Structure formats: structure tokens, C-alpha cells
């Protein structure tokens, strides 16, 4: 079949056939085409069609399966991501133990391994050398050529069933090219260097802890209880061993690798068969010299006896085979001098100290900067400007200072202190108790403005339709947005906006009208839109209900704010610090001058008091309205909502996929209502 010829969707008027084929025939044909292109793209890295053409094929298959749900099978390309999040992973007992390898660290230990092997065999031996991918070892099981189960290594005897997560990895074939009765293979799930950097950027933006290295990131991604999260992490795999097989026999390991490649697996990259231990050592050195050029991390090279018969003779200990070892490359560490320490301000306002270094060649590239992580790290290591230090690449990617060479300290080194004012916008820098991070709290700090405007315009905040991330970036580049308040002055640039790429007169009018409508929002949306640390949607609503205006809130004391139910000292202090900033007050003045509402409408909006004194907790997905909209309705009838279930809760409104809040409500005997029950209550 020429898979490139069939790229389009052409339904005839007769819905029982598509291009002369029955739905069942067309579905099977589409699956074969999509699996072919998946293999070309994710395994061979040699795509033959565009992403758009691929997406159209997948969409056609999805539509056909939706119309014919009885034809959906677990190995369909549409079923790689699906289902509800798991409560926990099931245990899997490995019939063939997934053993670890003994390590060798230098040439002498490697040659000693070769001596032991030859003494046990009494003959020469052939080896296979493979790159040791730094990831997470897994088992993949197939019956009659179809993927049935995948599991982690665990302790080698008992692992965890992560089938749904492994199905999201597109380099894992769901259907093999041969329908063999049973096959179990072992592979290494990993995250590319590029994806690791992208993921950590997202973690930083979301104010979540950064992953230390690609291996930790891959392991954490594969063990997500929700496969949809795993799917976003773009994991990959190399398969390197047959654990068990029925219906086939082989004489060498290299034969098994070629057979696995034939079946559709992505096998150990560029493995080499070596006739002697000298040749093995040359290959290990070659891999070591090139390791920085690989798009994935390796932490060594694996050396295996090629003959499967010889492997049987050599056998294994309880922990590791005697026919293989892993050569571990030493981490490259270089000495240099810290010329200065400067601070970067991230999009969330976090200040990160970095070292400016005397340039030095490290792990294949010239390094002139290194992360110092945070102030605690600097204090712990006693790092000073002018120090001679040892540096390495954390996870072989991010340069970091390992330690100070104290014997080279001269006495004129300078201690570093974190600035009290943001180096970008000069707003106050705050470090909360119990946190390591120092952060800028300036609302209009240019370093965090892009993210701030995205949040300010979001649905639960000011709800400005048509103002997406790409447009925000373009408006900032043009110099039209230097503050969130500048949104309300965009009408002054109406003619210029119309001329911008991807904007026309109608789009500009819709955008400006949406901005104009947002002026009339209640102040809870405005407070939430400010992005005050620790102040979420519910906290913003409580502030709106307890203070008559933004000006009243701006002049409130800690004691005034802490009187609000569910407000603690941390939340109150965050509000106080935000409103005392001069940049905040300037922004509010600009908003007021533009006609943005700064007065609370909470009490005015109450229709009647049928829910007076009642507390609702919302959980799960509602079909008729969002949880935010349901919360607004409850407030209009005099009730209030809470983010957690307690004995004070009167009702739990439970939608689809309700989680732990529903369970707790059941345990406490709280009345649980459905969406239909809620509709009857508000009719």
C-alpha cells in the first residue's frame, strides 16, 4: 500500500461507504496508514507527510470511530491517551526478573571483566556495545502482536503497571509488524534534552519545583496517575533486550536487536559488535567523546556478551548478569573563577542568582555562566565573588557551581546579598517565611508583564475575549502594553491596531468592545486579575464581599483582612505588600482614570437570601456552567462557597469525575447534590 496517496477525507453521499469501502474497512486502512507514519516520524525520524496531513488522517479516524463506537479497539492510534486518572498503580510481578548491571569505572576494571568472562567460557568472546540511556527501565508485553501491558522495573521482581502512560509514547508500537504469540521486551524511557529544558521552563512559569535532570523528569512523567499529563511530556524510548519470546529463536543479541527493529521498535541507537575487548574500549572512548552531541542523556556504555549460548553458560547472580557490565563515565568537572554574581528575574517574579565565570570548556561547550539556584545555596556553599570554584553540568545540561576551592581563597572575595529592590522595576523584593525564593512583587515588572497580562485577561479574571498570548506579545513588542492598565488605553491606537498582522477592523472592534465591557466587572475579578500571590478566585471574592471598594481594600490593615474567614497571616500580608507598592497605586490610578469599576457590587447583586447561611463546596466538572459561574449563582442567593469540605459545609455540588472532596463529604455525612438538584434549587 502506498500510504502517501491517501491523505484526504472524501465522504460520498452514501454514508455506508467511504471511497468505496465500508466504515470498518476504512477504519482499518486509516489505522495502518497512521501507524506507518507514526513509525516514520517517531522511530525513523524520517517523516513523509506534513503535520497537517497527519492530523487530518487522525481526525477522520476519530470521526469514524465516534460514529461506529463498536469498532474501537484498544490498539487504535486514537486510544493512546484516554480514560480517567488512576487512583493508584497496580503491582506487576516480573516473570523474567529485570536485573541491574554491575558497574565498571575504568579501563582496568573493564579488562578484568573480560578476563573473568574468557576464563569461564574457555574461549574467545564477541561483545555488543550500546549507549546507556539515562532514563527509566520498563517492560513491554505483547500478545499476538498487540501491546497488552507495560510496567516499571521497580525492584526488579515487582514493578507497577503503567500501560496507559506508556501508550502515550508514540515510538512504542501498539501493533507489531508480525503477530507473534508472545513477546516481552525491555527498554529505557527517557526525555530528550530539548524537552527537559522546555518542561523546566513550564515548571518555572507555574511556580513548581524544577526537575534536577532528564532522568528524574522522565520518571516523574511516567508515574503520573493521569495519562493526559504524561502525554504532554513527549517521552521517548529505546528498546534494548528481549526478555521472553514464543515462536522465535536467536543465536546472538545483535540478531534480536535487528528483529526488534523489524517489528517496529526503536532500538538501541548505533550499537556496535566488537571482536575484542580492545575494540570495546575504543568504542567506549568514541561514545564518551561524542556524548555531548547526542539529543538524549547517557550515563555510560553497556557491554554485553553477544552469544546467547555463552550467556546461558555465564549465568547470573541474584542481582546482575555475569555476561554484561555498565561502564560509567566520570562527570566532567572544571575549575574556574566567579567574576561576578548577578540576578535574573523570571516570569513569576522569582529572583535567581547566577555566577558570571571566567570562560571554561566543559562537556563539549564553553561555559561562562552557571546557576547558583537560590540564596540558601550560596550561603550553604559559602560562595563569594572572586572565588575559585569547581563547576559541572547538572544532568549534563545546566552548568552549576559544585563547591568552592577554599585553599585558593585570597581574602578579598566579596559576599553576595540578594537585592532589596527588583533589578528590573525597582519594586520591593519579598521572601516569605518557609520559602527559599525571593520574588519581585511589582505588578508591572517588565520581566513578568507578559504572564501578568495573560492572567489579567483570562476568563475568571477580567474575561477579555480575543486577547490571546500571541496578540499580547505582539502588542508588547509594539510598545502599546507596558502595564495591565494600558489595555484600557488601546483605543487610542485603533488605526495602528487594524494594520497589525492577523488583525483586521472587525477583530480590533471586537477586542476593544470586550475591553470596554470588562470595565463594568465586579472588583473580585479585578482583584483576582492582579495576580496577588496566595490570592485565588475564592479569596478575591471574599475580599470583594468584605470591602466596599479597591480604595477601601488598599487602605485596610492586616487586622482588617485577617477578620475574613479562611484568611491567615500569609494571605493578609501578601495583600498588604501588594497594595503598598507605588507601582500598584499608579496602576490603580490609571485604571480608575480609564473608567474601570473599583466598587464592590457583591451586596448589590444578591437576588434573594434562599442560601443565606449556607456553605457550598463544588467538585468535579459541571455541564451547564463552570464552577466559577455556579459560585456566582450561589452568591446571588446569599450563600457562599468554600474550597474544602468540613463539618461546616452544608452541601457538596458534585459534577463528573468528582474526586477526594466527594469522598470526604461521604465520610462526614455531608449532603451531596447533583447538577440537576442544584438547578431545581435555583429555579
Active site residues: 132
Q: At what angle do helices 214-222 and 193-205 cross, to 10 degrees?
A: 70
Could you tell me the three cell numbers for 13? 453521499
Local structure of residue 330 (DSSP, 8 states): P
Euclidean distance between CA atoms 62 and 53, whole angstroms? 14
Which residue, among 244, 243, 242, has the nearest Cα to 262 in the 3D structure? 242
List the strands of the sheet with 182-190, edge to edge: 146-152, 136-143, 182-190, 236-246
CA atoms within 13 A on the CB side of 25: 7
> Which residue bears the cell 552557571?
370
Q: Where are the beta strands (DSSP E) in 372-504?
A: 384-385, 388-394, 398-404, 414-415, 429-430, 438-440
Could you tell me the three cell numbers for 202? 513550564
Could you tell me the three cell numbers for 35? 501507524
Q: Taking the mean position of all CA atoms in its chain, how far away is CA 584? A: 32
Euclidean distance between CA atoms 385 and 416, whole angstroms? 7
CA-atom Rg of the chain in angstroms: 31
Euclidean distance between CA atoms 370 and 341, whole angstroms? 10
- Decide if 64 contacts 24 (C-beta within 8 A): no
Give the SS3 label for residue 190.
strand
Euclidean distance between CA atoms 677 and 137, whole angstroms? 49
Local structure of residue 127 (DSSP, 8 states): E
Could you tell me the three cell numbers for 283? 568504542
Euclidean distance between CA atoms 40 and 514, whole angstroms? 45
- Decide if 212 contacts 240 (C-beta within 8 A): no
Give the SS3 label for residue 404.
strand
Could you tell me the three cell numbers for 439? 520574588
- H/E segment holding residue 352: strand 350-362
Euclidean distance between CA atoms 70 and 76, whole angstroms? 12
What's the count of helices (H) and strands (E) in the chain, helices before strands? Answer: 24, 24
Which residue, among 656, 627, 626, 651, has the nearest Cα to 639 in the 3D structure? 651
Euclidean distance between CA atoms 143 and 5, whole angstroms? 31
Backbone angles phi, psi at 52, to 5 degrees: -65, -45
Local structure of residue 235 (DSSP, 8 states): -
Whether the CA torsion 561, 564, 569, 573 is positive or negative: it is negative
Amino acid at each position: 500500500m502506498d500510504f502517501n496517496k491517501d491523505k484526504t477525507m472524501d465522504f460520498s453521499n452514501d454514508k455506508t461507504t467511504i471511497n468505496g469501502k465500508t466504515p470498518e474497512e476504512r477504519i482499518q486502512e486509516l489505522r495502518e496508514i497512521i501507524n506507518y507514519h507514526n513509525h516514520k516520524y517517531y522511530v525513523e525520524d524520517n517523516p513523509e507527510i506534513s503535520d497537517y496531513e497527519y492530523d487530518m488522517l487522525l481526525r477522520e479516524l476519530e470521526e469514524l470511530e465516534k460514529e461506529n463506537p463498536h469498532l474501537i479497539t484498544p490498539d487504535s492510534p486514537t486510544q493512546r491517551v484516554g480514560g480517567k486518572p488512576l487512583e493508584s498503580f497496580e503491582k506487576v510481578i516480573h516473570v523474567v526478573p529485570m536485573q541491574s548491571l554491575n558497574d565498571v569505572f575504568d579501563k582496568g576494571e573493564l579488562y578484568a571483566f573480560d578476563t573473568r568472562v574468557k576464563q569461564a567460557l574457555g574461549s574467545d568472546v564477541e561483545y555488543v556495545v550500546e549507549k546507556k540511556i539515562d532514563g527509566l527501565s520498563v517492560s513491554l508485553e505483547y500478545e499476538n502482536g498487540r501491546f497488552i501491558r507495560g510496567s516499571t522495573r521497580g525492584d526488579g521482581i515487582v514493578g507497577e503497571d503503567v500501560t496507559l502512560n506508556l501508550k502515550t509514547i508514540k515510538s512504542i508500537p501498539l501493533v507489531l509488524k508480525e503477530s507473534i504469540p508472545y513477546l516481552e521486551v525491555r527498554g529505557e524511557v527517557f526525555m530528550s534534552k530539548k524537552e527537559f529544558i522546555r518542561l523546566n521552563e513550564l515548571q518555572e512559569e507555574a511556580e513548581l519545583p524544577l526537575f534536577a535532570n532528564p532522568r528524574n523528569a522522565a520518571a516523574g512523567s511516567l508515574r503520573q496517575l493521569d495519562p493526559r499529563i504524561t502525554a504532554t511530556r513527549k517521552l521517548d524510548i529505546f528498546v534494548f533486550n528481549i526478555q521472553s519470546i514464543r515462536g522465535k529463536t536467536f543465536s546472538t543479541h545483535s540478531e534480536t536487536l535487528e528483529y526488534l527493529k523489524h517489528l517496529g521498535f526503536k532500538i538501541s541507537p548505533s550499537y556496535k559488535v566488537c571482536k575484542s575487548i580492545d575494540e570495546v574500549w575504543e568504542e567506549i572512548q568514541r561514545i564518551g567523546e561524542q556524548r555531548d552531541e547526542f539529543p538524549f542523556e547517557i550515563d555510560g556504555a553497556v557491554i554485553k556478551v553477544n552469544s546467547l549460548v555463552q550467556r546461558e553458560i555465564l549465568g547470573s547472580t541474584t542481582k546482575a548478569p555475569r555476561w554484561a557490565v555498565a561502564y560509567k563515565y566520570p562527570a566532567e568537572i572544571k575549575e574556574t573563577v566567579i567574576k561576578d554574581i548577578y540576578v535574573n528575574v523570571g516570569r513569576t517574579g522569582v529572583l535567581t542568582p547566577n555566577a558570571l565565570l571566567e570562560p571554561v570548556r566543559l562537556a563539549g561547550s564553553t561555559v561562562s555562566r552557571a546557576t547558583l539556584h537560590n540564596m540558601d545555596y550560596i550561603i550553604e556553599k559559602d560562595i563569594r565573588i572572586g572565588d575559585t570554584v569547581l563547576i559541572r553540568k547538572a544532568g549534563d545540561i545546566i552548568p552549576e557551581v559544585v563547591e568552592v576551592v577554599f585553599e585558593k581563597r585570597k581574602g578579598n572575595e566579596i559576599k553576595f546579598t540578594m537585592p532589596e529592590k527588583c533589578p528590573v522595576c525597582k519594586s520591593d523584593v519579598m521572601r516569605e517565611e518557609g520559602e527559599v525564593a525571593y520574588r519581585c512583587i511589582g505588578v508591572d515588572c517588565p520581566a513578568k508583564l507578559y504572564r501578568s497580562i495573560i492572567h489579567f485577561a483570562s476568563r475568571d479574571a477580567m474575561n477579555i475575549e480575543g486577547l490571546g498570548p500571541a496578540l499580547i506579545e505582539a502588542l508588547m513588542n509594539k510598545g502599546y502594553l507596558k502595564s495591565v492598565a494600558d489595555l484600557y488605553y488601546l483605543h487610542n491606537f485603533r488605526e495602528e491596531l487594524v494594520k497589525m498582522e492577523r488583525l483586521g477592523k472587525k477583530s480590533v472592534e471586537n477586542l476593544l468592545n470586550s475591553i470596554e465591557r470588562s470595565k463594568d466587572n465586579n472588583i473580585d475579578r479585578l482583584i483576582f486579575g492582579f495576580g496577588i500571590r496566595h490570592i485565588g478566585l475564592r479569596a478575591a471574592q471574599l475580599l470583594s464581599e468584605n470591602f466596599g471598594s479597591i480604595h477601601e481594600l488598599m487602605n485596610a490593615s492586616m487586622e482588617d483582612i485577617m477578620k475574613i474567614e479562611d484568611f491567615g497571616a500569609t494571605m493578609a500580608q501578601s495583600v498588604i505588600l501588594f497594595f503598598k507598592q507605588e507601582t500598584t497605586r499608579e496602576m490603580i490610578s490609571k485604571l480608575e482614570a480609564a473608567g474601570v469599576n473599583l466598587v464592590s457590587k457583591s451586596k448589590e447583586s444578591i437576588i434573594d437570601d434562599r442560601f443565606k447561611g449556607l456553605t457550598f463546596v463544588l467538585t468535579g466538572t459541571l455541564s451547564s456552567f463552570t464552577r466559577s459561574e455556579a459560585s456566582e449563582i450561589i452568591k446571588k442567593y446569599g450563600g457562599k462557597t468554600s474550597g474544602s469540605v468540613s463539618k461546616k459545609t452544608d452541601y457538596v455540588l458534585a459534577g463528573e469525575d468528582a474526586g477526594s472532596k466527594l469522598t470526604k463529604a461521604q465520610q462526614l455525612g455531608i449532603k451531596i447534590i447533583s447538577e440537576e438538584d442544584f438547578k431545581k434549587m435555583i429555579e
